[in-house]
Structure 1
Amino acid sequence: MGNVHHRYATVQGRRLFYREAGPADAPVLVLLHGFPTSSFMFRDLIPALADRYHVIAPDHLGFGLSDAPSADEFDYTFDALTELTEGLLSQLGVSRYAIYVQDYGAPIGWRLALNRPDAITAIITQSGNAYDAGFVENFWETVWAYQREQTPETETAIRQALTLEAIKWQYVTGVQDETVVSPDTWHHDFDLVSRPGNDRVQLALFLDYATNLPLYPRLHEYLRSRQTPLLAVWGQGDEIFGPPGALAFADDLPDARIHLLEGGHFLLESALDEVTALIRTFLAHSLPKD
């Protein structure tokens, strides 16, 4: 396995951290993480793919080791996070690439695809929703209530998602043997989202998530018209984005490869080898040969 490089780039005046590995001339795969984590979630996947692919995994602004300006200094929206991702890829000279999206990474990836359809060579989605199907109401009802009305009651409820207990729940729910998931994961995420002022960053993104669903019709048309190769690999025990979210891709992509594996929202923590094998097979058959 090749070395993973840990780098920074300044984009629009903001310092972004990213992990990079693999041959510079290999097909590019961009890994886009979700809430509440960072490119740390790909720490084991990157070297497992870097023999054949040029892998780039940024930390979104406000997450991981990237800058985390306050919500007063920066307007945290998914549009803004997408612009920073586009700026980073442009700075790195990347114009054609496959994407791996998970959770928050999905609405960023979908915007990248809609902004520049010719740039996307393939899509891997792991609990990265694109349909109304898949939203597990028991989890999302708190988010929806906060989006409808920002009151002390709805804010108190949504802030529970920032607690150590709630972050651990995301990692272990749906995993048959919880002991295979390292506690480093939820402690790492909790420490970073607990930085002073980061709570307001996360509240802003909870609110802005409401802008993602109206994009779905455009995204579905993009999928139907482009027939971009897609692999959906999903934890069947995910209680945030349930399996119907994976199965729905077949509505617009009859050739989509859809796999429901034993595991939860952070499937790489318990099924890394299975997911890696599926990705390698999928990309080997799906990426352009030129």
Structure 2
Amino acid sequence: MGTSAPRTGAVAPAVYHRTAVVDGRTVYFREAGDPAAPTVVLLHGFPTSSHMFRRLIVDLADAYHLIAPDHLGFGYSDAPPVTEFDYSFDNLTPVTLGLLDELGLERFALYIQDYGAPIGLRIASRRPQAVTALIVQSGNAYTEGFTPFWDVLFAHAADRGGNEAEVRKLLEPEATRWQYTHGVPADRLDRLTPDTWTLDQALLDRPGNKDVQLQLFYDYQFNLDAYPTFQEYLREHRPPTLITWGEHDEIFGADGARAFIKDLPDAEQHLLDAGHFALETHGDEIAVLIRDFLGRVLR
């Protein structure tokens, strides 16, 4: 099941753009594929949204049921101001769980990237029997993956007023574009569409949204406190895991990918000639890897 190549000449599967209300907040999500097929939940990172999965959803929808939500504060989901919602990874997690419950999803694979990793691994450690497989792309569960990029963020976490001007630079157009372009080999730069960083920046520039992002920058430090719980989940439950990680990622370094092997020695690891947003330049390769992997582990 799910091992064949995409059908040549077939009509592209429809992608549906939907919303659900979770605890009074509107959550936007993309959906494709037959709901009777195995489900894959796709959890995005910063500063993007479910838009990062726009092509992967189409690539896999002939064999799988895909759900890709936007976290609160991102994409087209509600983005209440920080005075009305306490933005933390602990608080974003039940919103995603609430969406999955609203959709009646009891079993699913998780694709986790960047911010999607601490949210997805909280879900997995709380509901281990629900998770059929993990697909990990540039999403840390170990301290080995942190690069010098994080120095300014951890300094901000220690003293929020001390370097806010430096941290705010990470929310400006140059930094948003860099997240997509760094680590990309020269022969693949023309695969990058400016639509990605242009959309991300437009959403970052909404009134009040940069305060949301600053709050999540601050809160990220508390994910490290949860790493032992995540690692215990991985050791105890040994979910089938595929790692597709940009080897040249300067945000979550490749050592973060290698660290998973300590607790998941059977994980399938692929370090790609890519940066942080590997789907943008290596989406075809990743889709093939996922199709092969899920076709074997979900049979």
Cα drift, residue 179 of structure 1: 2.1
Matched residue, 2:238 = 227
Matched residue, 2:150 = 140
Cα drift, residue 24 of structure 1: 1.0
- Whole-angstrom distance in 2 between the partners of 1:40 and 1:223: 28
- Whole-angstrom distance in 1 between the partners of 2:139 and 2:293: 17
Matched residue, 2:142 = 131
Cα drift, residue 244 of structure 1: 0.6
Matched residue, 2:8 = none
* Corresponding letter in the other structure for 1:193: L
Cα drift, residue 214 of structure 1: 1.0
Superposed, which structure 2 residues align to 1:68-217 within 5 Å?
A: 68-137=79-148, 139-151=149-161, 153-177=162-186, 178-217=189-228
Q: 2:37 aligns with which of 3, 22, 26?
A: 26
Superposed, which structure 2 residues align to 1:55-74 within 5 Å?
A: 55-74=66-85
* Corresponding letter in the other structure for 2:165: T
Pair 1:286 & 2:297 matched: yes
Matched residue, 1:237 = 248
What percentage of residue pairs aligned between the two structures are identical?
56
Pair 1:275 & 2:282 matched: no
* Corresponding letter in the other structure for 1:218: T
- Whole-angstrom distance in 1 between the partners of 2:60 and 2:15: 11
* Corresponding letter in the other structure for 1:143: L
Moved over 2 A (4+): none
Task: Indicate if the aligned counterparts of 2:73 and 2:209 stay in contact, CA closer than 8 A.
Answer: yes
Aligned residues: 286
Cα drift, residue 231 of structure 1: 0.7
Cα drift, residue 114 of structure 1: 1.1
Cα drift, residue 2 of structure 1: 1.0
- Whole-angstrom distance in 2 between the partners of 1:283 and 1:192: 33
SS of structure 2 residue aligned to 1:123: strand
SS of structure 1 residue aligned to 2:132: strand
Task: Indicate if the aligned counterparts of 2:160 and 2:218 stay in contact, CA closer than 8 A.
Answer: no
Compute the TM-score of the two structures, normalised by the length of structure 1: 0.97
- Whole-angstrom distance in 2 between the partners of 1:89 and 1:9: 10
* Corresponding letter in the other structure for 2:185: Q
SS of structure 2 residue aligned to 1:68: coil
* Corresponding letter in the other structure for 1:147: A
SS of structure 2 residue aligned to 1:196: coil
Q: Where does structure 1 lack aligned partners over 5 or more consecutive residues?
A: none
SS of structure 2 residue aligned to 1:133: helix
- Whole-angstrom distance in 2 between the partners of 1:218 and 1:196: 36
Compute the TM-score of the two structures, normalised by the length of structure 2: 0.94
SS of structure 2 residue aligned to 1:121: strand
Matched residue, 2:5 = none
SS of structure 2 residue aligned to 1:94: coil
Cα drift, residue 222 of structure 1: 1.0
